[in-house]
Structure 1
Amino acid sequence: MPILCRDCTATFAPPRPSCPGCGGRRLVRHDELFDLAIAHVDCDAFFASVEKRDRPELRTTPVIVGGGQRGVVAACCYQARIKGVRSAMPMFKALALCPEAAVIKPQMSKYAEASRAIRALMMDLTPLVQPLSIDEAVLDLSGTAALHKAPPAAVLARFALGVERQVGVTVSVGLAPNRLLAKLAVERDKPRGFAVIGAAEAASLLAPEPVSVLPGIGPVQARKLQALGLATLGQLATLSPREAAAKLGEDGPALAARARGEDRRRVDPTRETKSISAETTFERDLRTVPELEAVLWRLSEKLARRLKEKGFAAGGVVLKLKTAGFATRTRHARLGAPTRLPDTLFSAARPLLAREADGTAFRLIGIGAQLLMPGEGADRGDLLDAESPRRAARWEAMEKLRARFGEGAVMRGLLAKR
């Protein structure tokens, strides 16, 4: 059985309790270890890990990254997770579970910088890197053994050590014959893990697992499957395509195939970004139009920056509001031409907000780009909006001033009044 040492990335075959080269005991053993090339890489408690990296005094302290008392948990370290803290949990609940935690406001620019550094290390391994989020990606290392003079498993172990040394955070790796199994593998060994699921063992390994372990199956669908006598992946996997379609509808055959560990998706570096948005949760509920508009403008600026960074423009906007009772409202508006200017985004969302701001108390507001379009054709001006090129130039000048003198160097009158 092939063996890989994760401490020095040496590979060897004879069974040993430790690495013959460095004496390390972080060994990976698997019959298909040197034949697999699809990897899912997930940073461990990414935001919290970056904060601990930059503040060594917090290394042994539970860390929660998120807003104030009225905010939610954006991320937390494993020490906080042991206490029951989870992402998206209201902050007051998180602090009730882990009152000794250090709460740190998110610093997205810092996390983005670390993410870019990790992405660059991935691109050194293979051009087939598909980012899934700021801290997660899937890689295809097929055919790279000759280039790296090592099998993908050893290259990935080397990569994980490089991330720790150069970026200062840890990652977990799942290695498998396809994307689904790689995702399931990485979830089996965290943090700083390296798990392998081979093709030969996939069906038997998944069979006893609950259907809820499949990505995309939430609590509601899991209960529906259980009501049909399909509580485990093994029970779901036994359905023929015809039986699966009869019981579960047109998506049934694909669901049964996934329960067997089958997945034909390729790693696609050009995967289209489906949505870009910005939102915030208030420290206290807001009710009035002026208060809500001030926040909406700041989010419009943030959305404009994100659109530019990703090379997109908005063909429409979606306004998101969450009431004090946690009811979510979404309202949509189409634009006459694609844009990534904050004032155009704000102008489209402003009447949507005016119709909803009827005295209702809101705890969250967000704005998103609906129908993403190529950024090259944005804000060129037409008969209906001949001024958009000038507004684009003005916005660019404002951003340059802020980059040089700080965020408060230039401020819209709407904010200055507040």
Structure 2
Amino acid sequence: MTTAAPNRLCRDCLDDPGPAGNRCAACGSPRLLRHPELDRLSMAHLDCDAFYAAIEKRDNPALRDEPVIVGGGKRGVVSTCCYVARLYGVRSAMPMFKALELCPKAVVIPPDMAKYAQVGDEVRELMLETTPLVEPLSIDEAFLDLAGTEALHHGSPARTLARLAARIEERLSITVSIGLSYNKFLAKVASDLDKPRGFAIIGRAEAMGFLAGKPVGLIWGVGKALQQQLAKDGITHIGQLQTREENDLLLRYGSIGRRLARFARGQDDRSVDPDGPAKSISAETTFNEDIADFGQLDRILWPLCEKVSRRLKQAELAGGTVTLKLKTDEFQILTRNRKLADPTQLAEAIYRAAKPLLQREADGRHFRLIGVGSGDLMDAALADPPDLADPDAARRKTVEQTMDKLRDKLGRTAIRKGRGWVPPKGGGKT
């Protein structure tokens, strides 16, 4: 085997594919990497392709060419779907009834989180064999910093990543997509450019030009509400942010303005932190007696939402997803998730997301535990931006902030909302 030339690599044979042509001169593969900064970039984002659906297809080869949706029945939502289903317009978080309207022949499979977690752990082990600097973002994605690994792996980070993707595919029979760049923001952006089984690169020289034409929503933390606010100011593309001074964006948009200015210019100084902050904040309670009644469960849910909110505020974090956890009287654990339009710290927003999830599950079954959590954590500066579509949101935020101040001064029980006033029956240890 020859050594790949700097800035050129065949992803299959890991040799030099030659300076030109659409196929590798050594093995004939079309999966080639050619980039002027290829041997100088070491920050990566690895994302498993259609993770849940890929595992189900792996375990049932008869599904290989079928549109597969992993989700929660007609009243639930799509957890993930395979790329065949995506051709019909099906997307994650889509209501199941809408997904089945678009793709009526889809094979719908209930999620098996224990199985997915096991495969996620196996992927994580292979990543850690590659570099100790692995920062998980979720069960199926992580940042990796491969700086300084050239001597250990006898090749550039790009070559090591190509080998890692091949090992995952060979050992676990699932595929991954990789983004390679010089910082975390651009590495994550790159990993979405060439799915599935992709490997995309964004270098320093091209970053500003690449970002200029992209919508502002590409910037991490810019949700729908902030996009609307930026659009009112005539800013819809990142290139328009590149012309604004950082101080001006800070004055106009608060602390998020710093991120807007820096990410728009391809600047991100965050390091990969394998021992970083918790990926979720949660609270749960186990009942003394099993409960089936939705009203009772709902009254217990609210103070748990308040507890999660309080912990988020204390940690100066905001959550982008809400997770409901239930344990049945037969000790079956159910988890249901909802992605929020914008990250939040507010108990009211957490409760409004969790309550419909609880309503769908409270179908007469008896439960012995309920919990709620907030995931996809990010800086508190991104929490609860103005929402033009919900003018009452600002009032709810002000009310909750006022209640927080009173509780800080007079104690947690000094003031309560009505839904939390009636003590639930069957409450237990927390």
- With normalisation by structure 2, the TM-score equals 0.68
**Aligned pair in 2 of structure 1 residues 292, 98: CA closer, same or farther (>3 Å)?**
farther
SS in 1 for 2:371: strand
Q: Distance in 1 between matches of 2:56 and 2:256?
A: 42
- Which is further off, 78-87 or 47-56? 78-87
Shift of 1:29: 1.0
**Aligned pair in 2 of structure 1 residues 236, 177: CA closer, same or farther (>3 Å)?**
same
Q: 1:231 aligns with which of 190, 215, 236?
A: 236
Q: How does 1:119-130 map to 2 (within 5 A)?
A: 119-130=124-135
Q: 2:271 aligns with which of 258, 266, 271?
A: 266
SS in 1 for 2:40: coil
Q: Which deviations, in whole Å up to 9, do the C-alpha atoms of 1:336-368 show, x marking residues without a partner?
A: xxxxxxxxxxxxxxxxxxxx9xxxx92357613
Q: Distance in 2 between matches of 1:369 and 1:242?
A: 35
Q: 1:89 aligns with which of 76, 94, 112?
A: 94
CA contact (8 A) 1:320 1:367 kept: no
Q: 2:262 aligns with which of 257, 265, 282?
A: 257
Q: 1:37 aligns with which of 37, 42, 52?
A: 42
Match of 1:167 in 2: 172
Shift of 1:157: 0.6
CA contact (8 A) 1:72 1:89 kept: yes
Gaps of 5+ in 1: 280-284, 306-317, 331-355, 372-413
Q: How does 1:94-173 map to 2 (within 5 A)?
A: 94-173=99-178
Q: Which amino acid is the alignment partner of residue 245 of structure 1?
A: L
SS in 2 for 1:9: coil
Q: Which deviations, in whole Å up to 9, do the C-alpha atoms of 1:266-310 show, x marking residues without a partner?
A: 00000121425599xxxxx974548999x97617967899xxxxx
Q: Which amino acid is the alignment partner of residue 243 of structure 2?
A: T
Q: Distance in 2 between matches of 1:3 and 1:83?
A: 36
**Aligned pair in 2 of structure 1 residues 249, 26: CA closer, same or farther (>3 Å)?**
same
Q: Which amino acid is the alignment partner of residue 298 of structure 1?
A: K
SS in 2 for 1:71: coil
**Aligned pair in 2 of structure 1 residues 296, 224: CA closer, same or farther (>3 Å)?**
closer
Q: Distance in 2 between matches of 1:297 and 1:216?
A: 29
CA contact (8 A) 1:64 1:101 kept: yes
Q: How does 1:15-414 map to 2 (within 5 A)?
A: 15-275=20-280, 287=294, 289=296, 298=327, 327-328=352-353, 362-363=359-360, 367-368=371-372
Q: Which amino acid is the alignment partner of residue 253 of structure 1?
A: R
Shift of 1:28: 1.1
**Aligned pair in 2 of structure 1 residues 25, 274: CA closer, same or farther (>3 Å)?**
closer
CA contact (8 A) 1:278 1:303 kept: no
Q: Which deviations, in whole Å up to 9, do the C-alpha atoms of 1:289-337 show, x marking residues without a partner?
A: 48999x97617967899xxxxxxxxxxxx89987xxxx5467xxxxxxx
Q: Distance in 1 between matches of 2:354 and 2:117?
A: 29
Q: Distance in 1 between matches of 2:325 and 2:162?
A: 44
Q: Which amino acid is the alignment partner of residue 265 of structure 1?
A: R
Match of 1:313 in 2: none
Shift of 1:250: 2.8
Q: Which deviations, in whole Å up to 9, do the C-alpha atoms of 1:33-85 show, x marking residues without a partner?
A: 11100000000000000000000000000000111211211111111112121
User: Which 4+ stretches in 1 moved above 3 angstroms?
Assistant: 276-279, 285-293, 299-305, 318-322, 327-330
Q: Distance in 1 between matches of 2:211 and 2:297?
A: 54
CA contact (8 A) 1:2 1:11 kept: no
**Aligned pair in 2 of structure 1 residues 257, 299: CA closer, same or farther (>3 Å)?**
farther
**Aligned pair in 2 of structure 1 residues 221, 302: CA closer, same or farther (>3 Å)?**
farther
Shift of 1:242: 1.9
Q: Which deviations, in whole Å up to 9, do the C-alpha atoms of 1:164-185 show, x marking residues without a partner?
A: 1100100000000000010111
Shift of 1:238: 1.5
CA contact (8 A) 1:286 1:292 kept: no
Percent identical residues: 47
SS in 1 for 2:209: helix
Shift of 1:163: 0.8
Gaps of 5+ in 2: 1-5, 285-291, 301-323, 336-346, 363-369, 376-425
Q: Distance in 1 between matches of 2:89 and 2:266?
A: 30
CA contact (8 A) 1:286 1:362 kept: no
**Aligned pair in 2 of structure 1 residues 16, 211: CA closer, same or farther (>3 Å)?**
same
CA contact (8 A) 1:38 1:179 kept: yes
SS in 2 for 1:242: helix
Q: Which amino acid is the alignment partner of residue 249 of structure 2?
A: A
**Aligned pair in 2 of structure 1 residues 108, 151: CA closer, same or farther (>3 Å)?**
same
Q: Which amino acid is the alignment partner of residue 218 of structure 2?
A: V
